[in-house]
Structure 1
Amino acid sequence: MTRDELAIFDSEAVRAGLPYRDCIHVVREAMQALSAGTTRQLLRTMLSLGPGRTFAQMPGALGERDMFGTKTISVFADPQSPGKRRHRGLVVLFEPSEGRPVAIADAEEITHIRTAAASAVATDALARADASTLLIVGTGGQAHTHLHALPLVRRFDRILIWGRSPDRADALVAAFPDLPCERADDLEAATRAADVVCTLTTAAQPVILGDWVRPGCHVNLVGSSGPGPVEVDSALVVKSRYIADSTASARDAAAEFLIARDAGLVTDDHIVAEIGEVLLGRVPGRTGPEDITLYKSLGHAVQDLAAAAHLYRSAHR
């Protein structure tokens, strides 16, 4: 690859060049930099194109003299799979010295991997060290990527998989024969047993209730990325130690938090920290073993750009 050649990374190239361990490291550094103020990004802009059809732009810069660019993506409901969504688009990366575009990468694949990596970073920082039971709520693409990423930061003796379709849950269990996975049919019982919960659904109404979550549990809220759909109820928001990937974004688009705030159950101060602040040691993530920690994942341009920059630099090496 020459200096002036535009690098193109399709989905296969993204998977090959962005191993989960590498992406976890990349995302950890990106979230620290975001909270430290060395990166820049704007709130995402979302243009509705009708029911189940959204076009979004996410610009950002990794630093004043570092890579910058944007993620341009469509989020469309999958007509072949009701309740499922596809995230199709591009991450476009520019170099900082001359402002040249240097790379284009498949945004859907980067999103799958970096989202799971972000949950792994949060789980490593917030879950109890002795966490041994993981609950995956959902059976789509993010469920697959989370099963690749989370066991890299905790050793789980039991992994429960719940989905609306038992057949899809069984298929997910079968796809990971080296992990201690099993299908869960009773979501309440599975939640009560879990040390770590990941909600990875397109649910419009809560699928997890706060009363089900036991003290000491860590929850990653991933499925809802804008106002409206929620995966958990306000009781869980209220009882949790609430950590955001970005405070500004959470106050703008974290549906579960916004509903609890609008109901007068919490204030903006209920967001105790950004995950980057926890990673930097500025704010404790967990104050004691009984804390219920909650990480709200909305996803950010700096994560996508950092992942694309890693791909580009690795290809040049």
Structure 2
Amino acid sequence: MLIVPEREIANLMTRQAAFEAVEKVFAAMAAGDAYNFPVVREAIGHEDALYGFKGGFDRAGLTLGLKAGGYWPNNLEKRGLINHQSTVFLFDPDTGKVKAMVGGNLLTALRTAAASSVSIKHLARPDARVLGMVGAGHQATFQLRAALEQRSFDKVIGWNYHPEMLPNIQKVADEAGVPFETVELNGMRQADVIISITSAFAPSLMADHVAPGCHVACMGTDTKGKQEVEAALLARATVFTDEVAQSVQIGEAQHAVAQGLIAESDVTQIGAVINGTHPGRDSDDQITLFDGTGVGLQDLAVAASVVDLAVQQGIAITVDF
């Protein structure tokens, strides 16, 4: 078995490599060459933690495995650790033997950011110039770095439940040489692209906060009950997702479907746009929305990529298991 420790990931995995792995697996999913297993995600009744498993099988890439982990909201304050903790396990699809164990914390941030940036590439207007950020936590910095590589943005605007955290994303904008401005939520109407990355259970971004022609990437809702945007926004938008079943069960679409504002058939896999079987955006004033729920195949794709890199560079640890 190969082990790639968390400490090695930063020197191995790039944003571009993560982007390519996620885009490829989204395309495979839409083509029917890869599928996710049902998600297990539970409140464990200790430390307010959510813990679960996401897995799947990519026949095209011969990648089989799962990610185990979740969200420990007290980690940062109590222990100086990031709140998201996870590990990816890969198995040989020919024999079922365990193949690799990979640190999943940084990979989770990279693959989540890659998913939203894939959606920006394929759904945002080519002339998008203002990028809005709703959320300013650890994950938001990864989202912003990846998004800035997809369009020639002139300005970043930001809002957060806790305004004292906004310097986290302002620093990223400053490093990229893009002006940053703090706004109220109604100021998001000036944005051509909005990324929402919070862990909220009540919406902050409302339908009236989003202007025609905007692309919205909702990246924080991955559990039943979570909600970042008003359900009415999905009724106004053309909705895309990583996986439809997961979107309507635990993603942002769960609320709009429950309220009868949209049907499951109104949600389209973004892989269909990547493959060219769906046109994606069809007008400059159309609102597009990507419901990024986070699928196991994303984790497996980036983990498999990083294992290959670790082997090439002689960094992977081999153990007899």
- TM-score w.r.t. the length of structure 1 is 0.91
1:252 is aligned to 2:271? no
State the match for 1:228 in structure 2. Answer: 225
1:15 to 10, 14, 17: 10
Letter in 2 for 1:178: E
1:30 is aligned to 2:25? yes
CA deviation vs aligned residue, 1:219-273 (integer Å, no higher than 9, x gap):
000111122121111221110000111111112212x3222222222222221x1
Residue pairs, 1:124-273, within 5 angstroms: 124-179=121-176, 180-189=178-187, 191-254=188-251, 256-271=252-267, 273=268
Q: CA deviation at 1:30?
A: 0.5
2:278 to 269, 277, 283: 283
CA-based RMSD of the aligned residues comes to 2.0
Q: CA deviation at 1:208?
A: 0.6
State the match for 2:41 in structure 1. Answer: 46
State the match for 1:70 in structure 2. Answer: 66
Contact 2:76–2:82 under 8 Å retained in 1: no
Letter in 1 for 2:8: A
CA deviation vs aligned residue, 1:173-232 (integer Å, no higher than 9, x gap):
13443321424132211x111000000112221111101211100000011112212111
Distance 1:194 1:172 in 2: 16
State the match for 1:113 in structure 2. Answer: 110
Query: Secondary structure at 1:96's aligned position in 2?
Result: coil
CA deviation vs aligned residue, 1:277-314 (integer Å, no higher than 9, x gap):
11001111111111100000011111111101101112
Q: CA deviation at 1:79?
A: 5.8
Q: CA deviation at 1:149?
A: 0.8
Contact 2:213–2:288 under 8 Å retained in 1: yes
State the match for 2:319 in structure 1. Answer: none
Query: Secondary structure at 2:211's aligned position in 1?
Result: coil
- TM-score w.r.t. the length of structure 2 is 0.90
Contact 2:221–2:250 under 8 Å retained in 1: no
Distance 1:223 1:280 in 2: 25
Contact 1:68–1:93 under 8 Å retained in 2: yes
Tell me, which stretches of 5 or more residues in structure 1 are unaligned?
1-5
Tell me, which stretches of 5 or more residues in structure 2 are unaligned?
313-321
Query: Secondary structure at 1:93's aligned position in 2?
Result: strand
State the match for 1:92 in structure 2. Answer: 89
Q: CA deviation at 1:58?
A: 1.2
Letter in 2 for 1:139: A
**Runs of 4+ displaced beyond 6 Å:** none
Q: CA deviation at 1:164?
A: 2.6
Distance 1:176 1:159 in 2: 7
Identical residues among aligned pairs (%): 28
Distance 1:171 1:120 in 2: 19
Q: CA deviation at 1:88?
A: 1.1
Q: CA deviation at 1:161?
A: 2.2
Kindly tell me: are residues 280 and 199 of structure 1, through their superposed partners in 2, closer, same or farther at Cα, counting changes over 3 Å?
A: same
Kindly tell me: are residues 181 and 204 of structure 1, through their superposed partners in 2, closer, same or farther at Cα, counting changes over 3 Å?
A: farther
Q: CA deviation at 1:115?
A: 0.3
Query: Secondary structure at 2:227's aligned position in 1?
Result: coil
